[in-house]
Chain A
Amino acid sequence: MLCAGIDAGSRAIKVVLLNADERQVIASGCADQGVHHDSLAMRLFEEVLERAGCRREGVSRIVATGYARNAVNVADTTVTEITCHACGVHHLVPDAMTVVEIGGQDSKLLRLNRDGVVFDFAMNDRCAAGTGRFLEMVAARLEVELQALGMLAAKSQKPAAISSMCAVFAETEIIGLLASGVSREDIAAGVQASIAARVASMAGRNLNPPVVFTGGVAMIPGMTKALEAALGQPVSVAPSPQMTGALGAALIASRQMAQKGSR
């Protein structure tokens, strides 16, 4: 039986096609998000189906997640990204107790129980300063590719202190730092540290290890180290971190099918 998960995020759409019986991913894909959430999701879904040599009718259930989940008309149902990321990470790293997910638009901290069920979560809802968008803005300001930001940060001697809690003011601060001669390396490292500090503030005072880092920002070099420093404990990156939401959605779709079958 085939099931699919579609993660319609704010910056990218991800699709996972799952062999539900074997719990094996048979194809996946990722594309930029745009204005027409539904058609973009549909196009990517069809691409993934084609690559796997499958047809839409062969997919028993589709779960959509992510910020634009309600716009994905092909989905049978929607589940929030909190539940989906937890499910995806638990599948890949079964002993994960804490999941940090930093996506394009927000960041989340999920606490899981031993069954991989979320028992508590926090989300950064104040501003973009703890998200992937902030990194994109900084990369543009420093005139480097997003992926190169980590390399730049790794060369820092003395990370700059970014004090603003708001992305707009932080941008002003970065312009000021550049003008006063602070190196791009130190600014890049300072920005990563400030994002990590924001996430750490969501964690509060007690955090259960192991901590797993997921979401698109987990692919940016240097972010894991910054997060480890802010949380004060080791952090591992989930395999294919950008895909864990879509994977979780596909797994939930298969679970829902199993429940239907057992009824």
Chain B
Amino acid sequence: MNDYPRRITLQEWDAHYVQLREAGMREPPYGGTLRRHVEEGDLRLRTLLFDNSSAALRLWNFLLTEEDRLREARTAGKKIVGTMKDLGTVPVMAYALPNVVAFYPDGAWWIPCVMELSEGLFGIADSLGIDEAFCPVRAMLGAFITEAHFPVPDLLICSAGATCDDFSAIAQRLNGLGYPIVWWEIPHRRIPDPDEERVELPGGFAAPASQVAFVREELERLRTVLEQFAGVPLNDGALSAGIARANEVRRLLAELRQLTFTAELCPLPALEMLIAEMLAIHFCSDQAETIEVLRELLREVRGRVEARQGVLEADAVRVFWVNPVADLQVMNLLEDCGGRICGTEYLFSHALDEIPENLPPMEALARMALADPMVGSAADRAARICADTRRFGAEAVLISRIPGASHCATEGIIIAEAVRSRLRIPVLEIEVPPLSDSIKPMLRTRLEALIETSKELRKTCCVPE
């Protein structure tokens, strides 16, 4: 039994949960109320608005119980690999192995927000010399030290090179603290010279064959590391099966994105869509369950679209959102101000594209890794954002900066200029810290202005040259 789709508070969820249970809602073992996560310290949930479907409840519960899953995996004798600064390649390889669970320590990024700074992770990072001049992902350092948010992995793999300077610095600090890391290198993707062999990559990019070969060799090295770690060979057959499973997740997500972003009425709030997208990059420590969670969500969304039901006003302004937001509450705020998300680029778009299945698996993974928006130029990223903005029919682009995050400082301007000149729609840049309460009125003004501007522009076609 689901009510008419809408966004509800935590308090409303308490009563709604009881109703759903009485109506026979079946839950997975990690099910339960959202309230219990608040009791465990996830204080931010008190201020958020959530989708009211049981599918969304399952999504949240799945996300917020990852730590339990990791600890259970360890107790069950499974090996844990932390795949850092890698959004979609090494997790695919790791999940192709039996008895291995991969997770994403970078996800600690959101802990200060979700726990409203009560966990003290930034303080620990500060004391290690990684202060607010760095990206909030520095919270990960604190999480390693306290061991309170995830078990320390048996193996750590981290990309370096063209991915992210902040992260490299933070991971090197971690390494220096005595956490061994297997590094692999990814070069800055460049346009092939005319005399170079050109390889097409997923997402519409291209790279010289020599770069693809280099990355493939790096991944081959990781294959050996993973084989030794798991004690079993990681052959092409297993890898291909792993790629097929990852693609299943990506296909589900692609359909969810297409339906949600293009529906006449918005069938799923921005926050739940953000979490669904996050699942695709690291599977929340259980790939099979990720597929089930996404399937249920997709069923819910399909049903809503067919029934022409939505969670927001019909005239909500269609906004394309760039970069993940440090404070989850701001996703709610955009909707409160009259916007809806129609398209996203959270810096891991390559983890949403399907991995080619018609190529040898290591070649396919190498191409996928090189399609990472972070390893290409900001202009490449902007081009994809413009193409997707057009595809989803967004009326405005919102670029959310992350304080201290090095990629934001320069890319935002390049993306904004590309959108202005190619699409001629409003662009807004905002900066969102992990807890944005004190600047909420300021953020609200900007978001409301974006909505007002976009609505006014619906009435006029006159945008100057």
Q: Which listed segment binds A: B370-378, B384-392, B454-462?
A: B454-462
Asked if A232 is an interface residue, CB under 8 A from chain B, the answer is no
Q: Is the CB of A125 within 8 A of B430?
A: yes
Asked if B77 is an interface residue, CB under 8 A from chain A, the answer is no
Asked if B431 is an interface residue, CB under 8 A from chain A, the answer is yes
Closest CB-CB distance, A15 to chain B, in whole Å? 20
| Docked complex Cα distance between A210 and B70 (Å) | 61
Asked if B336 is an interface residue, CB under 8 A from chain A, the answer is no
Q: Is the CB of A119 within 8 A of B442?
A: no
| Docked complex Cα distance between A230 and B445 (Å) | 27
Q: Is the CB of A83 within 8 A of B457?
A: no
Q: Is the CB of A119 within 8 A of B427?
A: no
Q: Is the CB of A83 within 8 A of B456?
A: yes
Q: Is the CB of A121 within 8 A of B426?
A: yes
Asked if B76 is an interface residue, CB under 8 A from chain A, the answer is no
Q: Is the CB of B464 within 8 A of A121?
A: no
- Type the 1/0 row for A49-85, where 1 means its CB is closer than 8 Å to any CB of B: 0000000000000000001001000000001111100
State how many residues of chain A have any CB contact under 8 Å with chain B. Answer: 25
CB-CB under 8 A for A118 and B464, given A123-B446, A125-B431, A125-B442: no
Asked if A27 is an interface residue, CB under 8 A from chain B, the answer is no
Asked if B452 is an interface residue, CB under 8 A from chain A, the answer is yes
Q: Is the CB of B420 within 8 A of A120?
A: yes
Q: Residues of B contacting A80 with CB < 8 Å? A: 445, 448-449, 452
Q: Residues of B contacting A125 with CB < 8 Å? A: 430-431, 439, 442, 446
- Type the 1/0 row for A199-217, where 1 means its CB is closer than 8 Å to any CB of B: 0000011001000000000
Q: Is the CB of A113 within 8 A of B460?
A: yes
Closest CB-CB distance, B137 to chain A, in whole Å? 21
Q: Is the CB of A97 within 8 A of B453?
A: no
Q: Residues of A contacting B420 with CB < 8 Å? A: 120, 204
Q: Is the CB of B453 within 8 A of A120?
A: yes
Asked if B307 is an interface residue, CB under 8 A from chain A, the answer is no
- From B413, B417, B427, B452, contact of A82 by CB (8 A): B452
Asked if B463 is an interface residue, CB under 8 A from chain A, the answer is yes
Asked if B428 is an interface residue, CB under 8 A from chain A, the answer is yes
Q: Residues of B contacting A122 with CB < 8 Å? A: 428-429
| Docked complex Cα distance between A119 and B420 (Å) | 10
Q: Is the CB of B452 within 8 A of A113?
A: no
- From B445, B457, B459, B463, contact of A81 by CB (8 A): B445
CB-CB under 8 A for A126 and B445, given A80-B452, A83-B456, A117-B456: no
Closest CB-CB distance, B404 to chain A, in whole Å? 13
- From B441, B442, B457, contact of A117 by CB (8 A): B457
| Docked complex Cα distance between A113 and B417 (Å) | 17
Q: Is the CB of B452 within 8 A of A83?
A: yes
CB-CB under 8 A for A115 and B431, given A67-B441, A80-B448, A123-B446: no
Complex: chain B residue closest to A112, CB-CB: B464
Q: Is the CB of B453 within 8 A of A121?
A: yes
Closest CB-CB distance, B328 to chain A, in whole Å? 19
Interface centre among A113, A118, A120 (most CB of B within 10 A): A120
Complex: chain A residue closest to B451, CB-CB: A80
Q: Residues of B contacting A260 with CB < 8 Å? A: none
Q: Residues of B contacting A121 with CB < 8 Å? A: 426, 428, 449, 453
State how many residues of chain B have any CB contact under 8 Å with chain A. Answer: 27
Complex: chain A residue closest to B421, CB-CB: A206
Asked if A36 is an interface residue, CB under 8 A from chain B, the answer is no
CB-CB under 8 A for A83 and B449, given A67-B441, A119-B426, A125-B430: yes
| Docked complex Cα distance between A123 and B426 (Å) | 13
Closest CB-CB distance, B136 to chain A, in whole Å? 17
Q: Is the CB of A208 within 8 A of B464?
A: yes
| Docked complex Cα distance between A117 and B456 (Å) | 7
| Docked complex Cα distance between A204 and B428 (Å) | 13
| Docked complex Cα distance between A117 and B464 (Å) | 11
Q: Is the CB of B452 within 8 A of A119?
A: no
Asked if A114 is an interface residue, CB under 8 A from chain B, the answer is yes
Q: Is the CB of A113 within 8 A of B463?
A: yes
Q: Is the CB of B462 within 8 A of A113?
A: yes
Q: Residues of A contacting B446 with CB < 8 Å? A: 123, 125
Q: Is the CB of A115 within 8 A of B460?
A: yes
Q: Is the CB of B417 within 8 A of A204?
A: yes
Complex: chain A residue closest to B417, CB-CB: A204
Q: Residues of B contacting A113 with CB < 8 Å? A: 460, 462-464
Question: Which B residues between 55 and 95 are near A, CB-CB below 8 angstroms?
Answer: none
Q: Is the CB of B453 within 8 A of A82?
A: yes
| Docked complex Cα distance between A164 and B284 (Å) | 43
Q: Residues of B contacting A111 with CB < 8 Å? A: 464
Complex: chain B residue closest to A80, CB-CB: B449
| Docked complex Cα distance between A221 and B417 (Å) | 33
Question: Which B residues between 388 and 443 are near A, CB-CB below 8 angstroms?
Answer: 413, 416-417, 420, 424, 426-431, 439, 441-442
| Docked complex Cα distance between A111 and B459 (Å) | 17
Q: Residues of A contacting B452 with CB < 8 Å? A: 79-80, 82-83, 118
Closest CB-CB distance, A107 to chain B, in whole Å? 13
| Docked complex Cα distance between A126 and B446 (Å) | 13
| Docked complex Cα distance between A123 and B427 (Å) | 11
Complex: chain A residue closest to B431, CB-CB: A125
Q: Is the CB of B431 within 8 A of A126?
A: yes
Q: Residues of B contacting A118 with CB < 8 Å? A: 426, 449, 452-453, 456
Complex: chain B residue closest to A118, CB-CB: B453
Q: Residues of A contacting B460 with CB < 8 Å? A: 113, 115, 117
Closest CB-CB distance, A61 to chain B, in whole Å? 17
| Docked complex Cα distance between A80 and B426 (Å) | 16
| Docked complex Cα distance between A97 and B463 (Å) | 11
Question: Which A residues between 117 and 138 are near B, CB-CB below 8 angstroms?
Answer: 117-123, 125-126
| Docked complex Cα distance between A121 and B431 (Å) | 15
| Docked complex Cα distance between A30 and B453 (Å) | 27
- From A70, A106, A114, contact of B464 by CB (8 A): A114
- Type the 1/0 row for B257-301, where 1 means its CB is closer than 8 Å to any CB of A: 000000000000000000000000000000000000000000000
Which 4 residue pairs across A and B have the least CB separation, nearest first? Answer: A82-B449, A80-B449, A113-B462, A117-B456
Cβ contacts A to B, 20 pairs, < 8 Å:
A82-B452, A83-B449, A97-B464, A111-B464, A113-B460, A113-B464, A114-B462, A115-B462, A118-B426, A118-B452, A118-B453, A118-B456, A119-B424, A119-B464, A120-B420, A121-B428, A123-B446, A123-B449, A125-B430, A204-B420
Binding site for A on B (CB under 8 A): 413, 416-417, 420, 424, 426-431, 439, 441-442, 445-446, 448-449, 452-453, 456-457, 459-460, 462-464
